[in-house]
Amino acid sequence: MTEISTLTALQLRDALRSKEFSAREVAGYFLGRIEQLNSSLGSFITVTAEHAMVQAQHADEALAGGQGLGMLHGMPLAYKDLLDVCGVPTSYGTAAFGSAATAQKDSPLVAILAGAGAISLGKTQVPEFGLSCHSENNVAPPARNPLDTRLTAGGSSGGEAAAVAAGMIPFGPGNDGGGSVRIPASACGLIGLKPSLGTIPSDVLEGTLDSFGAPRLTVSGPLARTARDAALLMDAMVDPTRETYLEALGEGSVGSLRGLRIGVSTASPFESAYSIKLSPQAHAALEQGISRLGARGHHLEEAEIFYDPAYPETFSTVWTSGLAAAPIPPGSEARLGTLARSFRERATRRGRDISLAAARRLSEIAADFRTQWGRYDIVLTPAMAFSPPEIGFFTSQDADTDYMRQCQYTPFTSMVNVSGLPAITVPTLVTADGLSMGVQLIGRAGSETRLLALAAQLTEM
């Protein structure tokens, strides 16, 4: 079965369809990888091996019987422990709920991918309530970076990213409310796409605004080793009956994309509150991105972008306001982690009028982002400010220091969620220590196809 490890997700999907491998062989192979590696990486909270093998048996029977095949027929993947998978506990990364409740039905995205034929192997590690740019909590061991297990895998899709990077699953669906797909993708050397708000229908079943009227921040997106793998999973998440994004990356289309006006920026809206410093590796990764895109025939220039100094406080207010309504059982607040407990206390004390005012202000800031970035076809930034820090770098601190360090590590991601626009992080550099650093490309509304093509240009040298 060593051949399976050499296949991209797209190649594996095609090998399953052609019966080169059975779904049972593939599921068994990846479950074996999980058994071998998870104890050192902490990617999976729960492994559903028995159920996966039953589903794989059904997939093989469907293929043998000539039944219609879904886009991801027989493909193994996993879900963050923020999403419900029917029959599997969901902890949301918190010890405050005590024993995690078993989900009675699938979350909408899980149902869509299951309907496309995907087979879940289990649930992956997240930070508490998905709040942080790491994947450490009080429920299970932290998700560690496969490139160096002393380091964080990022978050909040850190367990998912580590699983993909280590070959425990071929690709994985994440969700991104402030960088939660792009951060772990960058940390683990993957491609991570955050789509526009509303591109994936299941993301906006409750509308495009939160309960206070602020832009809804969280969207779903793929983590993958190649741009085409990301396109395949993106297609399944958007409409599993059409290969729209994958077809757009067909023969000749990637090479023909030329002449884009790309604004390069290292400015961050967090600079008014914190010291934002780029490491030499972050600068080198950005220069690699500039060089490769220039060689592809694009026009790169320094972008003049000026951010509202009210952003840090406004974003923090909106980001944490929902914690006041979190259904924490009475007397369980003490089991919350330091960051979640502190932010929940502040959100509970905060008047509703303050949250409503912050929502209005953030909507204005979002419009300004779109206007400034809209002067360019693409805005190029560093992915992260420095390489992934060690486990405990964030969680060993008080809440304010923890949050400050998160903003300093990820100074370019949350602003894209606020804008509602799409962005993708792409690896461009392997450091002397074997770590991955990369760039972020921010596109206009609906430009996911263009971003995937640019990711292919950056990685297919």
Band (pLDDT 50/70/90 cuts) for residue 1 is: low
* Structural tokens at position 200: 């994936």
Which is nearest to 43 in space by CA: 212, 201, 223, 215? 223
Q: Please compute the mean of the pLDDT values over residues 17-41 and round it to a whole number.
A: 97
Catalytically active residues are 80, 156, 180
Band (pLDDT 50/70/90 cuts) for residue 100 is: confident
* Structural tokens at position 260: 């884009």
Band (pLDDT 50/70/90 cuts) for residue 99 is: confident
Residue 172 has pLDDT above 90, yes or no: yes
Residue 2 has pLDDT above 80, yes or no: no
Q: Please compute the mean of the pLDDT values over residues 398-425 and round it to a whole number.
A: 98
Residue 102 has pLDDT above 80, yes or no: yes
pLDDT, the chain, mean? 97
For 336-387, what is each residue's pLDDT tens digit?
Answer: 999 999 999 999 999 999 999 999 999 999 999 999 999 999 999 999 999 9
Q: Count H helices, E strands: the chain? A: 16, 15
Q: Which residue has the tokens 């590696």?
A: 37
Q: How many CA atoms lie within 13 A of 363 on its CB side?
A: 14
Helix axes 227-238, 9-17, angle to 10 degrees: 60
Query: Can you give the pTM of this predicted structure?
Result: 0.98
E-state strands within 125-218: 144-145, 148-152, 172-176, 191-194
Taking CA atoms, 221 is separated from 196, 202, 237, 295, 346, in Å, by: 10, 11, 8, 28, 30
For 203-261, what is each residue's pLDDT tens digit?
Answer: 999 999 999 999 999 999 999 999 999 999 999 999 999 999 999 999 889 999 999 99
pLDDT score, position 236: 98
Amino acid identity of 230?
A: A
pLDDT score, position 249: 96
Band (pLDDT 50/70/90 cuts) for residue 68 is: confident
For 117-167, what is each residue's pLDDT tens digit?
Answer: 999 999 999 999 999 999 999 999 999 999 999 999 999 999 999 999 999
Paired strand residues for 102? 89
Domains of the chain are 2-459 (3.90.1300.10)
Residue 202 CB contacts under 8 Å (≥ 6 apart), including other chains: 107, 108, 109, 112, 220, 237
Residue 67 has pLDDT above 70, yes or no: yes
For 14-24, what is each residue's pLDDT tens digit?
Answer: 999 999 999 99
Alpha helices in 257-295 (DSSP H): 280-295
Residue 403 has pLDDT above 80, yes or no: yes
